[in-house]
Chain A
Amino acid sequence: MVMQMNADVNFSNSSIAQIRNISQCYEAVKRTQDRNILLPGISAFYGPSGFGKSTAANFVATKTNAFYVQVKSTYTKKAFLQALLREMSIPYPATLSEMMELATSELAKSGRPLIIDEFDHLVQGNKVEIIRDLYEGSQGTFLIIGEEMLARKLEKWERFHGRILNWVPALPADINDVTLLASIYAPKIEIDEPVLEQLLAQVRGSTRRVSTNLEMLNEKALEAGVRHISKQVFKELLPDGFVTGESPKPRSF
């Protein structure tokens, strides 16, 4: 009983593992890890920004103890390999081929997955080949993450494209996600379902906007001293409605 009470106070009782992009991203990596040895080992997770791809990557990284590298637009092959070796806590050697060898063997031997975020930058700079070499050498489990157009961009790299086992599109938030996010970002208030549905309709799937709007609503409600948000209360608290992030319509004079 005491344990139960402690758990209630100290832990948030929502589990982000149930957010659908997080669960499907994790499932994809798990499937890749447990794959038949003859199958390719790369999963690709793609979708528009704000859909919670990095949060999903974070969950997978923690749960599988993966190496995580976020590619920057300035990365050369060398800078990428240095970032990867740093992620592995391995002091880096002088030459590119030595770095490649070390990173490949670490991936193979540790058995830990590799997550590469912002993969688009590697496509633009013709650096896809080094990822393919890393993969071929290690036969590890890779998760690459990129923008909506990633699949199309990668078609050019036929030899790489063929090594992708799962294409996982990031899904727009659904009502379950919104309810879960409400328990994280608006923990102190109770929001009626119609309000959450309105929010969902207005943000067009973006988890990031769901979260920021929930936070704003939480603050406004606490300032006003209300704990329960019905449609009516919502209109009073936020007369302008939720923030949708749409650019303003052209004006007419």
Chain B
Amino acid sequence: MQAGTKLSLTQELGSNLMNAGQPYQSPRQRVWTAIRKHREEFTIKQVAELGQMKYDSTRDFITGLKKAGIIAEVRREKLPNMSKKIELIYFKLVEDYGYNTPSVDRQGNILGKSATVNKAMWNTLRITKQPVNASELAAISSTDEQQVSIETADSYLRFLHHAGYLKIARAAHHAVRKAKYQLLPGMDTGPIPPQIQRAKQVFDPNTNTVMYSERPELEEEIKHGTLLLNDEEINDE
């Protein structure tokens, strides 16, 4: 719950940093960009600072990349005034995956190369642009490898409609037809599907005010990034 308190402190800062209309760059993405920039030789500390990611998180990421064969160790260097066991390791980039960071776990398994269920539905809405109801969206977004359930499609359509992405192309009619939704022309915001988050908030009926709202999109930033910390906190890390 420590993250929670930090969250409220950083909420305002977070909204400035993260709502700039540019795609959100996760700490891993920023470190990956730093790695590509210094592909010949880099250290963990160096890319952690450049990518504004916590050192421990960066080390985990680097471990995964190394096990996946995406980066490799180049050399080690003894540090002056330190125990002989401590060495500075230099890495280099071996396999460039392009601008977007490959997703690896600590064991070096490369994950998520195929489109997710949300991405499949978002693709259907923005590529075909046709009005769809929930069962049509489910059918058109399913492939032989990945099925989209009607229930999932239904809730995705409802939430995107609430959020202002879709218009109702044809209203539902009792027992005869389900509502058809269509993506609004200006709301094709980009390739990454909007996410439906489950956030909690604290509401005080006495004062009729929302006292605190979770910001799940900041979770990764708080856990792994240093973007939202001030200098003192960074030195503590």
Cα–Cα distance between A90 and B22 once the two chains are bound (Å): 10
How many B residues, CB 8 Å from partner?
A: 40
Closest beta carbon of chain A to B143's beta carbon, Å: 5
B15 contact set on A, CB distance < 8 A: none
Q: How far is the CA of A70 from the CA of B126 in the complex (A)?
A: 10
Residues of B within 8 A of A234 (CB): none
Decide if A65 touches B115 in the complex (CB within 8 Å).
yes
The winner among B23, B142, B146, B148 for most chain A CB atoms within 10 A is: B142
Binds B, one of A29-37, A55-63, A163-171: A55-63
Pairwise interchain contact A15-B123, C-beta atoms closer than 8 A: no
Q: CA separation between A90 and B23, bound complex, in Å?
A: 8
Interface residue A134 (Cβ < 8 Å from any Cβ of B): no
Whether the pair B123, A62 counts as a contact (CB closer than 8 A) is yes
Which segment, of B46-54, B127-135, B160-168, B225-233, faces chain A? Answer: B127-135
| Contact status A222-B176, CB under 8 Å | yes
Q: Chain A interface residue count: which class?
A: 35 or more
For the complex, would chain A's binding face be called helix, strand, loop or mixed by DSSP majority? helix
Contact, CB under 8 Å: A62 / B150: no
| CB <8 Å contact, A12 and B99 | no
CB-based contact B96/A109 at 8 Å = yes
Q: Which of B133-184 contact A (CB under 8 A)?
A: 135-136, 138-151, 173, 175-177
Tell me the A165-203 residues at the B interface (CB within 8 Å).
183-185, 187
A58-B150 in contact (CB<8A): no
Q: Are B98 and A86 in contact (CB under 8 A)?
A: no
With A58-B127, A222-B175 as known contacts, state yes or no: A14 contacts B115, CB within 8 Å. Answer: no
Q: Tell whether, in the assembled complex, residue B136 and residue A90 are in contact, meaning their CB atoms are under 8 Å apart.
A: no
Binding site of B, secondary structure by majority: helix, strand, loop or mixed? loop
A17-B128 in contact (CB<8A): no
Chain A residues within an 8 Å CB radius of B192: 89
Q: Is the CB of A10 within 8 A of B136?
A: no
Query: For A109, what are the chain B residues with a Cβ–Cβ distance below 8 Å?
Result: 96-99
Cα-based distance from A153 to B39 in the complex (angstroms) = 44
B205 close to chain A: CB less than 8 A: no
**Residue B85 interfacial (CB < 8 Å):** no
Q: Do residues B142 and A16 form an inter-chain contact, with CB atoms below 8 A?
A: yes
Beta-carbon contact of B144 and A184 below 8 Å: no
Cα(A57)–Cα(B128), bound, Å? 8
Instruction: Decide yes or no whether A88 CB sits under 8 A from chain B.
Output: yes
Interfacial chain A residues near B175, Cβ < 8 Å: 222
| Interface membership of A246, Cβ < 8 A | no
> In whole angstroms, how far apart are the Cα atoms of A88 and B141 in the complex?
21
Contact B127 A68 (CB under 8 A): yes
Q: How far is it, in angstroms, between the C-alpha of A88 and the C-alpha of B191 when the chains are bound? A: 8
Does any Cβ of B come within 8 Å of A105's Cβ? yes
Are B177 and A12 touching (Cβ within 8 A)?
no
Instruction: Annotate B91-133 by CB proximity to A: 1 below 8 A, 0 otherwise.
Output: 0000011111000000000000111000110011001110000
Q: Does A102 count as interface, using CB distance less than 8 angstroms?
A: yes
Would you call B190 an interface residue if the criterion is a C-beta within 8 Å of the partner chain's C-beta atoms? yes
Given A17-B144, A89-B192, A91-B22, the answer on whether A57 and B127 have CB atoms closer than 8 Å is yes
Residues from chain B with Cβ under 8 Å of A65 in the complex: 113-115
List 10 tightest A-B contacts by C-beta distance, closest first: A109-B98, A110-B98, A10-B149, A58-B127, A12-B139, A184-B139, A62-B120, A222-B176, A106-B98, A17-B144
22 contacts between A and B (CB under 8 A): A16-B140, A54-B127, A55-B128, A58-B124, A61-B123, A62-B115, A62-B124, A63-B145, A65-B114, A86-B190, A87-B191, A88-B100, A89-B99, A89-B192, A109-B96, A184-B135, A184-B139, A215-B177, A219-B173, A219-B176, A219-B177, A222-B175
